[in-house]
Amino acid sequence: MRVILRKAAFYLLTAWAAISLNFVIPRIMPGNPADNLINQFHGKLSPQAVHALRVLFGQSGQNLWQQYIGYWHSIFTGDFGISYAYYPSSVSSVLGQSMFWTLILVTVSTVLGFVLGTALGMLAGWKRGSWLDSTLVPVTTFLSSIPYFWFAIIVVYLFAITLKWFPLSGGYAVDQTIGLNAGFIESAVNYAILPAATITAASVGGWLIGMRNMMVTTLSEDYVRLAEAKGLPKRRVMYSYAARNAMLPSLSGFAMSLGFVVGGSIVTEVVFNYPGIGSVLFKAAQAADYPLMSAIFLLITVLVLLANLAADIAYVFLDPRTRES
Amino acid sequence: MAVHAALAEPEAAADPAQGAARLWRRLLRSPLTVTGLVITLAFLVLAVLAPWISPYDPSAVSDTTLAGPSGAHWLGTTQNGQDVLSQMLYGARASMAVGFGAAVLTTALSVLVGVTAGYLGGIGDEVLSLLANVFLVLPSLPLTIILAAYLPHSGSLGIILVITVTSWAWGARVLRAQTLSLRKRDFVEAARATGEPTWRIIVRDILPNQVAVIAASFLSTVTFAILTQASLAFLGLADVTQWSWGTILYWAQTGSALLTGAWWWFVPAGLAIAVVGTALALVNFGIDEFINPRLRQAGIGTKKAQRAQVTARRRPRVRKGAPAVRRPAAAPFTQDSTDVILDVRHLKVDYVGDGGGRTPAVDDVSFTLRRGEVLGIAGESGSGKSTLAYAITRLHKPPAEISHGEIHYTRPDGSTVDVLGLDDAELRDFRWEELSIVFQSAMHALNPVLRIGAQIEDVIVAHRPRMTAQERAARVVELLGIVGIPADRADSYPHELSGGMRQRAMIAVGLALDPEIIVMDEPTTALDVVIQRQIVEKIMELKDRLGFSVVFITHDLSLLIELSDTIAVMYGGRIVEQAAAEDFYRRPQHPYSRGLLASFPTLGGPRRELTGIPGSPPDLRRLPAGCAFAPRCPAAFDACTTRVPQLVPVPAPGGGTAQAACLLHEPGAPNGLTGEQSQSTDELATGEAR
């Protein structure tokens, strides 16, 4: 329990750092994003919108400390101002609509990628030097060196354009209305298959190689040798002795890998024109929509931190040594 | 394992200044790594030469729009008729520049932070580590995007800086951990003691030892930076008028290359990124295997590993099937017993090197273990005693290989088993049912994530499938009781037990199926003297009560003399002397045994001078011709350097059973070491010190 509390405190600290970074960056960067945006709209912005921009980017005539307090206030009230890429929607409502698409897509494909990669890595490590190992490792190395978005382009080209097995882009068929009805869900699943498969395939490699190397290292531990000496069935040695221990570092390295996978997934969405955060980010970047970009950065950071906390809790359950008080 | 460690040691503890040179040699030996290096270099050369070898100006528009690959345009053209090949070549410049530029800066920052934090320690370390951990969990791509977005039209330099800020943490963390462990190593302590300035210690002693880690971190940053740059350019966050592989993809996406089917427009750029990434990863595999030599070993599950285990000729085994006969009630063992339970003949175990060279770790070892006997095997580390223990149970792993010899086990009912001829399933039955092992360090030999009870129970589940859960639980409690562990400890994890308790738990695991033989590989070495005593007494008590036979391996000769019936001394992979413990103690027949006995005090018995043995154990890879002990032997003569002595019976006045492998026992040897003269050579061995 204490371990989890300490981890939670660390993630809180990290969240604070990220949020503060988001406050500091626009203020130390050259140029003046707020003025750029206000000029772009040629005075068509409402006074509230102008005020929100000033709060976000400074130059509101207040000193830095007051600005910082105001900034935190808008964070807690969820008031990130107006989106310029989706004018006149507010940033919160744009994110509210796109968030769940990304959340479901990325969660499902990350979990799939992790499970598949860890399972295959376990086998490859167990059979180090076999044909399985010597095929899987180069293939997945190549797969994981491919930029996610390019992989997505190839997948779209092959399966959506050439073979026409799956829809080309979007999140659901236009003749469906969003809601919990069979037609929409079926269509959403159909549209999600290609992006999910892309992210899963692209992320499998990293997990696989990490797990495989840990597995090989673990196999020379004394406890694995003892398990063999005990005449246990191979499965028991592989699962309960080798893999169970080998996957612990994989899980504690989850943080770093997750950031990478999420980053890749976001860019992947752009290729599929998927109605999630990635596509929104792309549009925001095109329109220099700073409020939207900052909010997306914060949202992703917080979600990644939560996922990390979940991984840490799982770790505590899997490794009795951390349960010690 | 000990021998293997001894063999691997010189590689790990070599002169620190040669780290880079050794890394290069290692890398250039692996074909995959060389392939990776060649590909990377090829791309670098293309990037440098781009302005001279590009057929067209990458930005020049022409009338041949969206043309497929042809003689004029090898990689086709874009929507505006630009030449894709020229764009690729120019693009390589920007992508490689960002990749390597960011890697140089990132690595420099990682080294600076990591080494500083690790070397200085204290509050500075805490702060820097916390900072690194925070940056490690911040998702880097969104952060990069934010940073890049605020740098309007950021060129390559801007991107490099942004990537540096977001990716230094991983390398810093790894290097900090390495520095921490290096700082405690002898050569660094020594440098500090001589008052060398800190920066010199870091540059001369610490950094050269981190070459491999720094290189690995550098290469993965190159890949990461190329990928990140491509993502940013693809999102339109980099300068889209400067050609890079990412920019090509950006224009392909905005130009709807997908919908028009212009695959030549978007395939080459992504492929190039993937190929460079794969090439760098291949080099990194080589570095990983250099850092972690365990990765070079073959896995357990492969056929190759199974086959490699025994290359000695196999004999048709004796078919088992006779009903199990309980062994006779524990009768005290006597030296004249002929009831052999384990018969090892001419066993040879080699370590097969990368180049096919063979290093014998156990050479021509023969011995018998009789029912109820405690056979003690003594030897310095690197003498082959642990390898022997593993080979008996066929637990040795590649590169170790049994190349010669026979091992026969006799059941209580009299049927004989050829251990080297057992197939997988039979071997699994043989292990633990007939023979179990107690490992050197219970700390490492017990699975840290399973409860003690479960680690005893799974043996029973595997070998006694008909037992019910209640019966198994009762047996676990019974076993814990036998070794003196309270029953409620069955639910404890290994880390929750004390060292002595863990070793008892190990013994309980070893007793689970009531085996005939227990091999104990230094079972008490890791414990303090008091606990050591308790464990040894427990083992002897259990042996008398349960009647199993023991092979006890240790370097602690005094312990061995006390508890063994028979003692075998190993040196350089061979048994050099074997005798009843009593005879051995009174009349050691081999100069090495004599040296060993002279290197420690015994409780009781006559006082004698402690002399020790000059020199150090032999390097198994470069064993001297003739007797391995000759270079250290005070009684060596000419023949010792040319002939390998065989283990032969040595007549003793009391009718002892000693065997020794020493040329001094041959007729005609100078100072012939026959039994009657042993007194005089005793003086010879100790005389040197006077």
DSSP 8-state code for residue B310: B
B498 shares its domain with B580: no
Substitution target from B145, B162, B479 for chain A, most A beta carbons within 10 A? B145
Per-residue pLDDT tens digits for B499-511: 888 888 888 888 8
The yes-or-no verdict on residue A150 having pLDDT over 70 is yes
B671 shares its domain with B640: yes
Angle of CA points B310, B313, B318, to nearest 5°: 95
Listed in sequence order, the residues at least 6 apart from B478 whose beta carbon sits closer than 8 Å to its beta carbon are none
Enumerate residues 62 to 81 of chain A having a beta carbon within 8 A of any beta carbon in chain B: none
Backbone phi and psi for residue A166, each to the nearest 5 degrees, phi listed first:
-130, 160
B274 shares its domain with B349: no
B278 shares its domain with B151: yes
CB crowding B637-664: b at 16 or more within 10 Å, else e: eebbeeebbebeebebeeebbbbbbbbb
Mean of pLDDT values over B236-247:
83
B376 shares its domain with B521: yes
Question: What pLDDT, on the 0 to 100 scale, is given for residue B309?
Answer: 60
B525 shares its domain with B576: no
> Which long-range contacts link B679-687 to residues 24+ away (Cβ below 8 Å)?
B681/B591, B681/B594, B681/B635, B682/B594, B684/B634, B684/B635, B685/B591, B685/B594, B685/B595, B685/B598, B685/B611, B685/B634, B685/B635, B686/B598, B686/B608, B686/B609, B686/B611
B635 in any annotated domain: yes
Question: What pLDDT, on the 0 to 100 scale, is given for residue A70?
Answer: 81
B531 shares its domain with B590: no
B456 shares its domain with B361: yes
Tell me what the pLDDT averaged over chain A comes to.
82
Q: Which residue in chain B has the smallest CA separation from A28?
A: B150
Q: Which residue in chain B has the smallest CA separation from A151?
A: B270
B550 shares its domain with B458: yes
B244 shares its domain with B98: yes
**Amino acid identity, residue B563?**
L
Per-residue pLDDT tens digits for A47-90: 777 777 776 666 656 677 888 888 888 888 878 877 877 877 88
Verify whether the Cβ–Cβ distance B150 to A290 is below 8 Å: yes
The yes-or-no verdict on residue B315 having pLDDT over 60 is no
Question: What pLDDT, on the 0 to 100 scale, is given for residue A292?
Answer: 86
Enumerate residues 257 to 276 of chain A having a beta carbon within 8 A of any beta carbon in chain B: 258-260, 262-264, 266-267, 270-271
Verify whether the Cβ–Cβ distance A231 to B301 is below 8 Å: no
The distance of B375 to chain A (nearest Cα, Å) reads 20
* Closest partner CB to B146 (pick from A25, A146, A237): A25
The distance of A37 to chain B (nearest Cα, Å) reads 13
Contact (Cβ atoms closer than 8 angstroms) between residue B515 and residue B483: no
B663 shares its domain with B547: no
Enumerate residues 85 to 124 of chain A having a beta carbon within 8 A of any beta carbon in chain B: none
Domain count, chain B: 3
Determine the topology of domain A98-324 in CATH.
Answer: MetI-like fold (1.10.3720)
Question: What pLDDT, on the 0 to 100 scale, is given for residue B658?
Answer: 81
Answer with the residue of higher pLDDT: B655 or B145.
Answer: B145
The distance of A181 to chain B (nearest Cα, Å) reads 32
B672 shares its domain with B553: no
* Closest partner CB to B139 (pick from A21, A231, A263): A263
The distance of B368 to chain A (nearest Cα, Å) reads 21
Domain carrying residue B251: 31-51+84-106+141-169+195-292
Length of chain A: 325
| Contact pairs from chain A to chain B, CB under 8 Å | 279
B580 in any annotated domain: yes
B73 in any annotated domain: no
B68 in any annotated domain: no
Residue B519's alpha-carbon distances to B235, B437, B439, B651, in angstroms, are: 64, 5, 8, 30
Kindly state the greatest CA–CA separation across chain B.
109
Task: With cut-offs at 50, 70 and 90, classify the pLDDT of residue B288.
Answer: confident
Question: What pLDDT, on the 0 to 100 scale, is given for residue B211?
Answer: 81
The yes-or-no verdict on residue B310 having pLDDT over 80 is no
Tokens found for residue B168: 């230094």
Task: With cut-offs at 50, 70 and 90, classify the pLDDT of residue B671.
Answer: low
Per-residue pLDDT tens digits for B53-104: 888 888 888 887 778 888 788 888 888 888 888 888 888 888 999 999 999 9
Question: What pLDDT, on the 0 to 100 scale, is given for residue B39?
Answer: 92
CATH number at residue B550: 3.40.50.300
* Closest partner CB to A304 (pick from B139, B276, B432): B139
User: What is the phi-psi region of residue B369: left when phi exceeds 0, alpha when psi lies from -120 to 50, beta otherwise?
Assistant: beta
Domain ranges of chain A: 98-324
Task: With cut-offs at 50, 70 and 90, classify the pLDDT of residue B311.
Answer: low
ipTM of the complex in this document: 0.84
